[in-house]
Amino acid sequence: MRVLVTGGAGFIGSHVVDQLLERGHEVAVLDNLETGSRENVPDGVPLHEVDVQDEAAVAAVFEGFLPDAVCHQAAQMSVSRSVREPGYDAQVNIVGLLNVLSHAVRTGVRRFVFASSGGVLYGEASLPAAETTPAAPISPYGISKWAGEQYLQFFVREHGLQAVALRYSNVYGPRQNPHGEAGVVAIFCTRMLQGQTCTIHGDGRYVRDYVYVGDVARANVAALEQSGDIGFLPLNVGTGLGTDVNALAAIVRQHCQRIWQQRGLPDEIASPQHGPARPGDLRSNLVSAARAGQVLGWQPQVALADGLRQTADWFAEAVAMRSGD
């Protein structure tokens, strides 16, 4: 199958690219490198440095590659930027999506997989939320993901597209950008390995459903390869298991301490400090992926402890160990 991965130079998209290649698919990437990186795209995979908002350039990529399927990961994915610049968020996440969808159906694409978000759609969820949970997005980012799903349904009805919206929980793993606000694992790994103190917002009892990026990529590949007549299918991708930020930080710290010892660095990694709570942070957000199990045969395979070990090991290779090294 020929698959166009938008956002394929980013964190999740690049893992999707890797797994598609392993499965023998032909892949091209469309990404403007806003937060993604050329280094994340394997040699031999064409990288079209194009903004999803640029209609003519998006059209040319579709006409040149003629994909069978699209995996749409490209997005403005900062909640705080969406609050500051709701127009920019809508341009990338809604108008950009519409560009990609329009050229997909025009050039005969049948299968479309869209990166959605359980975190922003379901809001507060102390038990794992199912896909039937009414969406109640509060940020412009959440609203644009919700609108994206509505547009997918329109393209399914109007153009016979087969569309899967994968509603991820909190994704973590190698290649996540530590400079954003959302990648708490990437931020903790980078800061701790560099000997900097981490700050936990408020009391740290904020429970999230952390899912490993390799598992998320596998869900994307399964959704792309699933050949049934599905119409529009929203599927949660998460573990259903909650971990609070204090516990997460403690596990990351153990791994970073182990890495420091292996490298002969003598000191103790500092315990995180607590700072002010962030207004609006949800206390708990968990998703149930039971439906993805039934429809795709997908289940998360990487336990949090293993995924955090792999992630800390990856960051140890990627960052200088201590500031100034």
Ligand X SMILES: NC(=O)c1ccc[n+]([C@@H]2O[C@H](COP(=O)([O-])OP(=O)(O)OC[C@H]3O[C@@H](n4cnc5c(N)ncnc54)[C@H](O)[C@@H]3O)[C@@H](O)[C@H]2O)c1
β 207-208/284-285 pair status: parallel
- Rg from Cα positions in the chain: 19
Least gap, CB of 140 to ligand X (angstroms): 12
Instruction: Sort residue 24 into left (φ over 0), alpha (ψ -120 to 50) or beta.
Output: left
The residue type of 292 is A
Pick the catalytic residue from 122, 141, 206, 210.
141
Q: What residue type is assigned to position 236 of the chain?
A: N
CB of 9 to ligand X, least distance (A): 4
CB nearer to ligand X: give 162 or 220: 220
The maximal CA–CA distance of the chain, rounded, in angstroms, is: 63
Q: Which is nearer to ligand X, 184 or 269 (CB)?
A: 184
Residue 168 designated active-site: no
Provide the 10 A C-beta neighbour count for residue 43. Answer: 4
Integer angstrom CA distances of residue 261 from 84, 258, 305, 323 = 42, 5, 19, 17
In whole angstroms, the minimum distance from the beta carbon of 28 to ligand X comes to 13
- Shortest spacing between CB 142 and ligand X, in angstroms: 10
Which CB sits closer to ligand X, 162 or 176?
Answer: 176
Alpha carbon distance 210, 241 (integer Å): 8
* Residue closer to ligand X (CB basis): 10 or 269: 10
The residue (of 73 and 162) whose beta carbon lies closer to ligand X is 73
**For 228, how many CA atoms within 13 A lie in the half-sphere containing its CB?**
9
Residues that bind ligand X (CB under 6 A): 7, 9-13, 31-36, 51-53, 73-77, 92, 96, 115, 117, 119, 168, 170-171, 177, 182
Residue 9 vs 259, nearer CB to ligand X: 9
CB of 210 to ligand X, least distance (A): 9
What DSSP assignment string belongs to 92-160? IIIIHHHHHHHHHHHTT--EEEEEEEHHHHH-S-SSPBPTTSPP---SHHHHHHHHHHHHHHHHHHHH-
Task: State how far the Cα of 140 lies from the Cα of 146, in Å rounded to an integer.
Answer: 10
State the nearest-atom distance from the C-beta of 301 to ligand X, in Å: 18
Q: Which residues are catalytic?
A: 141
